[in-house]
Structure 1
Amino acid sequence: MSLFLRSIYLSSGLSLLYIFLLYRSNPLRRLPTTTVTLIFVLGMAAVIPVVLIRYLLPLGNTTTPFSAYVTAGLIEEGIKFLVMACTVWQLGFPDLAEPIDFAIYFGVLGVGFGIYEDFWYIFSGSYEVWTAGDIGRFHEVFRVVVLARTFPGHILFNGLAGYLVGHARFLRMWRARLLWLFLGFLFAVALHGSFNLIASTGGTIPLLSYVLLLVGLFLQLRRAALARSPFRALIYMITEGRDKWPYPRPPIDYLFAEGFSWPGKNKGGMFQVYPVVLSLLILYPLLVAAVYLANRFLIWVLPV
């Protein structure tokens, strides 16, 4: 039980850190806390169908490109895109006001998916040594596994793909939407598969280089999205008297959109003392434990 709880709290802490960085990536406003939390929970629930598919289909778990791009990339991203289509895509204004919102929501969904994956790798990767009673060996293995799980994966795959899908969400022509959606999906699968392949065959330095490359790409897309933000255009219109307004909704809608506090400071949103403590100590651990029990139950009742 001690290892189980330790694995849960470590994965919860990592996820909370990633959500904090993603949540604050838009300096112009804070997305609604309730919506962000709901998307995170649904991302965790997306693990269950993935586990079932892997259990029912003899796909194997090797370090081959097929495993990286199909068993992991195609299946996991396919399920996450399906959840995204049923949730984030359906959001309206002001929950979803610009493409960067989509990138944040989709990244949070990826973090929700990744929290259980982090927990499972930490727990299962050190369980055998833990039960053997070799404390010194356990601490060594545990430290290595935890370090390996600190590399951000799902948050980057889905955050980056979210920019493409977010662009599609605000297009009017359905053919253009489908094209950008398809490109976003392929992009996520390619990023995910490459990450897994490098992690299993390339070692720490290549994986770190790959992660830094993805972080740099995310920051570049973030900069471009913020430059085209209607909230930034609204600030310029008020402070500099610009009269050009190329956005579909009137400026007044953005001025009173939830989470936009200009000319005051942005509020903390979900990252205030009480929500953080509640999430870290109670909410996230309970959710991880619930998904774990659900997976164990489904595998138990399914035929071998």
Structure 2
Amino acid sequence: MAQSGQVAEKITELTGRRVELVEITTYGDVSKEQLAQIGGTGVFVSALRDALLAGEVDLAVHSLKDLPTAQPEELVVAAMPPRVDPRDALVARDGLTFAQLPDGARVGTGSPRRMAQLASWARALGRETEIVPIRGNVDTRIGYVRSGELDAVVLAAAGLTRVGRIDEATELLDPHEILPAPGQGALAVECVAASAQLAVQLGKLDDPLTRLAVTAERTLLARLEAGCSAPVGALADFWVNEQDVTEMRLRGVVGTTDGSTQVQLSTTGSVPASADEATAQSILLGRDLADAMLAKGAAGLMGERAH
């Protein structure tokens, strides 16, 4: 609701159109099961898309990391607004960082990707850390720490930022340690493809660099044939030369949830000035990195694979 409200304000500012928020509860919102058990892919999205196709709403705002990589022909992602911080955030007791947590600390997350990388990081630190599966909104998750049930929880920094609670993070986790989910920190504004005029208006919210980065990350995810509940992390970023974006770096990781085995690789490529060529290069980077990861055995580390 917070991120939808922010998009609505921006639409009104740029187009003059008044936007009414329609609250839709998804299966992912109400299910108490872990994401890996309910499939992950599309559980936060399907109800919103059904409402779009039924004409009940004109547009939907998704967290891009929840969006399946296969795009329905009837719908179009008209805009990807500027991405906010893609990193994961730690909220720990006593202001601790992850490296400062004691041996045997209990850390909560509902994400297999975070479980895999946190367990691997703890192993590298020579420490036993219990990764506890949790679900719930920001209040619920941080409440586990405030009550003393858990020593820390890990959430998306973007989510904390959008609800005005980023100051409660005790550490923003370096992507060198924990790569975020593909598309994390970015939003997708989706409408019916036949609503061409609306799509053009929504396109005013689009940020080309966000779209390029997310395209590379989601291409990697699709090439791995992994859903958004798989233990896959990816992040694309850019090098800037005298205000011109000249190069993209794409990093990817796949690991077992116990942290025992991990495949982590990166690649770089130029960013052409032409938008079409830049998009093609983003897709190529995602495919090439995924192929390299598969050659290193990534497929066997993902467990459940969603096609």
Report the TM-score, using the length of structure 1 for normalisation.
0.28
More strand as a share of residues = 2
Going by fraction, where is helix more abundant, 1 or 2? 1
Give the number of the structure with larger relative contact order, counting CA–CA contacts within 8 Å between residues 6 or more apart. Answer: 1
- TM-score, length-scaled by structure 2: 0.27
